[in-house]
Amino acid sequence: MSFIPHDSLICPIDDLPLQYRDGSLSCPSGHQYDIGKPGYANLLSVQHKRSKAPGDSKDMVRARNAFLAKGYYEPIANRLAQLLEHIAGDELTVVDAGCGEGYYLEAIDSLPGKQLHLVGFDISKWAIQRAARRCAATWLVASNKRVPLADESADVVLDMFGFPDFDSFQRILKTNGRLFCVTPAAQHLIELRKIIYPHVKQTSGRDYPAPFTLVSRETLTYGLTLVQQDLDNLLAMTPHLYRAPKEGLARLKNLKQLEITVDINIDELRLHF
């Protein structure tokens, strides 16, 4: 897929505008970033890395891609697309913060009556390498702490099961811009959690800092039947793989299939000053 250079990209070192030319991005100070195959730029500078390979590993990305490819989270993607269709404006810049392998941006790639400029970034280079194969967009290796986009350049920011940085989102969103946060609701994966944990913690809705205002919250709930391979992939794409005790993981491994509940909140917020 081709790399689309968004005109609001900034250098992660000095925040100067990045210009695209001859297959690379460069700023007036001379910092240059090549576009790697299959079509992404690495804008995560060395001084902002916490490890040599931050973010999801290649195995985690592979597991999530296999799980999502079976359509298990398609109802979430479809509902997100429906919500975006109703946002005013024929031309929108949509940023997926922590986009993983690009599943949700691909799902909204073609919305009726909308010209979308898609920007997806993730701290994991393995995720972005796979995302860049999905659809043409501005794919970046970058972090929520230092989003390489100019101030007030985004109409919509998506936070899909991510780790939000509201200060960064506030900076890049236009006034009256929208933030969509998808988070686990109370019963999300409850059957799996009851098997792997001795005590299940209750989840609650997320609170949001000013100047974000919650416009709407809706809950999407449905059931799935997962066989062992699906369960392995689901576990590998969640923090439960590292948090659950060995005894719980062993109980899950002995199951041939499991009926589970998908239960998520979709929060729509508007940026008001």
Give pLDDT tens digits for 120-144: 999 999 999 999 999 999 999 999 9
Q: Provide the domain limits for residue 226.
A: 19-271
The model's pLDDT over 194-215, given as tens digits with 9 standing for 90+, comes to: 999 999 988 777 889 999 999 9
- 67-91 mean pLDDT: 95
User: What is the band of 51 on the pLDDT scale with cuts at 50, 70, 90?
Assistant: low
- The CATH number of residue 48's host domain is 3.40.50.150
Q: How many CA atoms lie within 13 A of 110 on its CB side?
A: 2
Q: Is residue 11 part of a domain?
A: no
Q: Is residue 12 part of a domain?
A: no
Q: Is residue 3 part of a domain?
A: no
Q: Is residue 5 part of a domain?
A: no
pLDDT above 80: residue 46: no
Q: Is residue 113 part of a domain?
A: yes
Q: Is residue 6 part of a domain?
A: no
User: What is the band of 272 on the pLDDT scale with cuts at 50, 70, 90?
Assistant: confident
Give the number of domains in the chain.
Answer: 1
Q: Is residue 255 part of a domain?
A: yes
In percent, the amount of the chain with pLDDT more than 90 equals 84
CB 116 within 8 A of CB 109: yes
Q: How far is Cα 120 from Cα 224, in angstroms, rounded to an integer?
A: 28
Which of left, alpha, beta for 105 (phi over 0: left; psi -120 to 50: alpha)?
alpha
Q: Is residue 39 part of a domain?
A: yes
Residue with tokens 């972005």, as numbered in its chain: 128
3-state secondary structure 40-83: EEECCCHHHCCCCCCCCCHHHHHHHHHHHCCCCCHHHHHHHHHH
